[in-house]
Chain A
Amino acid sequence: MTFPRSLLAELHKCLTLPAVWAGAAVAMLGSIALTVLNATTSRSALASGHPEMLADSSPFETAFAAMPLGTVGAVVIGVVVMGSEYTANSPDAGGGRQIGTTLTAVPRRIGLLLAKAGAVVVLVVGIAAVTLPTTVLIARLLMGDLAVEHVAVDAAVTRCLGGTLYWTLTGLIALAITTLTRSGVVPLIVLVMNSSLVSFSLLLTNVTPLAHWLPDMAGRRLFDGPYTLEGGLDAGPGALVMAGWTVALLAVAALVLRRRDA
C-alpha cells in the first residue's frame, strides 16, 4: 500500500475509535469549559476591582492556562492509535488483536508506523487549530472590555503555533512509547502526569539541571505556561531538543516494531 492510502486507512481507523473522540473532547470541550470558568472568575475579579487576585489579567494568558488539557488529549490520541492495535477482542469474538489484520494489509512495518504518526499529526494539528483560537476568542469575549491585553499579536500567534507543535510532538512521543510498551497503561500514567503540574520531569529539575533537557521540559517555552519557572532552554533550542527526542523515540519504536513479533 502506498503512503497516502495507508495514512487514509489509519485516519479512518482513528475516527472510528471512541477513545480518539474522547481525547479530542478532552482537548477541545475541556479547554473551552476551563476557559469559560477561568474567564468568568477573572471577569468578576476585575469587575469588583481586585485585579491583584488574578495570576494574570490578560485574556490570552487566561485562555492559555487551559493548555495542559490539550496535552492530555494529544497523549490519549497518541496512545490509543497504537494501543488499540494490541487490545485483545472479546473472547466471544475470538480474542484476536487488530495488529494481525493491520500487518496483513500493510506489511511494511516502518510504513505503518509512519502512517500512524501521520494520522496523529493530522488529528492533533486539527484539534489545535480549532481549540486554541476558540479559547482565546472566548476569553476575549468574556473579559475583553475589562482586561488589558498585554500579549502582542505576533507573540500570540507564535505561541499558538508553538503550542500546536508541543501538542503534536507530545502525541508522537506517546505513539512511540506505546509502540514499545504495547499497552496503554504505563504511557498514559507517565505522560498525563508529566503534562500536569505534578510532573516527574519538573521534580527532576530540582535534582539535576540535566532534567531541563527532557522532552516535556525542553519544549515548555513553546507555549510558556503561567507556571513558568526559571532556567531551562529557550523556545527555539527547546523545540529542537524536543523534536530530537521525538525523532529518536520514533526511530527506536520503528526498529523494535520491525524486528519484534507482532
Chain B
Amino acid sequence: MRRALAAELDKLRTLPIVLLTVLGTVLAGAVLGAALAASAVDGGWDVDAVDATLQAVPFVQAGFVLLGVLPVAHEYAGSQIRTSLAAVPDRSLLLVAKTAATLLVACVTAVGTVAATLAAAWVVLDRAAGDSSGGAGSDGGPGEVVRSAAGAAGYLVLIAMLALAVALLLRHLAPALVGTLALVLVVSPLLAMRTDVARWLPDRAAQQLYDASDTVLTPGTGALVALGWVVAIGAVGGARLVRRDA
C-alpha cells in the first residue's frame, strides 16, 4: 500500500498540469482575497479578512474540481491505465492509493489556498485600516478565524473528492469537469434560489462547514451529507474500475 501510494503521488508530482493547477489555485486565492478585500474597502463595507476569504471560496473551488478530476482522467487519456494495472494488479488497492494521493494533494492545496487568501485579504485590509484608524483584525476571536478557515479548507477538499468520484464514474476529463462544475456552480445556486431541496446537494451541504446558515443541517451533518454523496458516487465509480474493463 505504501509503495502504491508513493507511486500515485509520484504520478501527480510529475504531471505538469497538476502542479500548474495547485500553484494556479493558490495564486488565484491570493489574488481573489486581495481583490475582494480591496473592493470591500472601496465600497466601505464592513468586511474582515475571514469574510473576504469565504467569499473567494466559490471561485477557487474550480481549481479543486480540476485537481480531483485529473488523477483519474489522465489515466484514461492514453493507455496509462493499462500500465498502472500491470504495476498494481489489485484494483481495489489502486483505487485506495489513488484516492489517498488525491486526498493528500487536495488537503495541502486547500490549506495553502485558504492561507494565501486569508493572508492577502489581511494585508490589504490592514493597509487600508492603517490609513484610517484601528486594526484590520477579524470581528471574531482567533478561534473563530481558525474554525472558519478550517471549514473552508474542508469544503474545498470535499469538492475535490466529489470531482474524483465523478471522474471515476465518467473516466474522461471533459465530461467529469463540466459535470462537476455545472453541478456546483450552476445547478445548485439556481435550485437554491427557488427550492429548499437544494440543501441536500453535496456542495450546499458541505458549505455548512464554513457558512452554517441552514436551518436543518449543522456543519457536522452537512459534511456527513456531502461525504455520503462522495462515497455513493465513488462506490459506483470504484465498482466500475474494479469490475469492468479498463
Check B187 against A92 for contact (C-beta < 8 Å).
no
9-residue interface stretch from B1-9, B100-108, B172-180, B229-237: B172-180
Interface centre among A30, A34, A184, A189 (most CB of B within 10 A): A189
Check A66 against B66 for contact (C-beta < 8 Å).
no
Check A72 against B178 for contact (C-beta < 8 Å).
yes
Cβ contacts under 8 Å, B191 to chain A: 34, 37-38
Check A192 against B186 for contact (C-beta < 8 Å).
yes
In the complex, whether B213 has a CB less than 8 A from a CB of chain A is no
In the complex, whether B96 has a CB less than 8 A from a CB of chain A is no
Check B79 against A91 for contact (C-beta < 8 Å).
yes
Q: A65-B193, A90-B79, A193-B62 are contacts. A188–B187 as well, Cβ < 8 Å? A: no
8 Å CB interface, B155-180 against A: 173-175, 177-178
CA distance A69 to B178 in the complex (A): 11
Check B189 against A41 for contact (C-beta < 8 Å).
no
Which residue of chain A is the closest to B55 with respect to CB atoms? A203
CA distance A184 to B35 in the complex (A): 27
Interface size class of A (residues with CB under 8 A): 35 or more
In the complex, whether A207 has a CB less than 8 A from a CB of chain B is yes
In the complex, whether A240 has a CB less than 8 A from a CB of chain B is no
Cβ contacts under 8 Å, B178 to chain A: 22-23, 26, 72, 76, 188, 192
Check A55 against B193 for contact (C-beta < 8 Å).
yes
Check A41 against B197 for contact (C-beta < 8 Å).
yes
Cβ contacts under 8 Å, B173 to chain A: 184-185
CA distance A82 to B58 in the complex (A): 29
Q: Chain A, 6-31, contact with B by CB distance < 8 Å: what is the 0/1 string?
A: 00000000000001001100100010
Cβ contacts under 8 Å, B42 to chain A: 207
In the complex, whether B128 has a CB less than 8 A from a CB of chain A is no
From A26, A206, A207, B182 is in contact (CB under 8 Å) with A26
8 Å CB interface, B189-208 against A: 189-191, 193-197
Check B185 against A66 for contact (C-beta < 8 Å).
no
Cβ contacts under 8 Å, A152 to chain B: none
Q: A41-B195, A91-B78, A192-B181 are contacts. A198–B174 as well, Cβ < 8 Å? A: no
Q: A38-B191, A206-B43 are contacts. A196–B185 as well, Cβ < 8 Å? A: yes
How distant is A18 from chain B, measured CB to nearest CB, in Å?
Answer: 8
From A22, A79, A80, A196, B186 is in contact (CB under 8 Å) with A196
How distant is B83 from chain A, measured CB to nearest CB, in Å?
Answer: 11
8 Å CB interface, B56-99 against A: 58-59, 62, 65-66, 78-79
Interface centre among B32, B59, B181, B196 (most CB of A within 10 A): B181
CA distance A157 to B173 in the complex (A): 37
8 Å CB interface, A191-206 against B: 192-193, 195-198, 200, 203, 206
Cβ contacts under 8 Å, B197 to chain A: 37, 41
In the complex, whether B39 has a CB less than 8 A from a CB of chain A is yes
Which residue of chain A is the closest to B63 with respect to CB atoms? A189
In the complex, whether B38 has a CB less than 8 A from a CB of chain A is yes
From B174, B177, B190, B194, A69 is in contact (CB under 8 Å) with B190
Q: List 23 A-B contacts (CB under 8 A).
A: A19-B175, A26-B182, A30-B182, A34-B191, A37-B195, A38-B195, A54-B194, A62-B194, A65-B190, A69-B182, A69-B186, A76-B178, A91-B79, A92-B79, A95-B78, A184-B174, A188-B177, A189-B62, A196-B185, A197-B185, A198-B58, A207-B35, A207-B39
Q: Which A residues contact B (CB, under 8 angstroms)?
A: 19, 22-23, 26, 30, 34, 37-38, 41-42, 54-55, 62, 65-66, 68-69, 72, 76, 79-80, 83, 88, 90-92, 95, 184-185, 188-189, 192-193, 195-198, 200, 203, 206-207, 226-227
Q: 18 more A-B contacts (CB under 8 A) besides A34-B191, A38-B190?
A: A19-B175, A26-B178, A26-B182, A30-B182, A41-B194, A41-B195, A65-B190, A69-B186, A69-B187, A76-B174, A80-B174, A95-B78, A188-B177, A189-B66, A192-B185, A193-B59, A196-B189, A207-B35
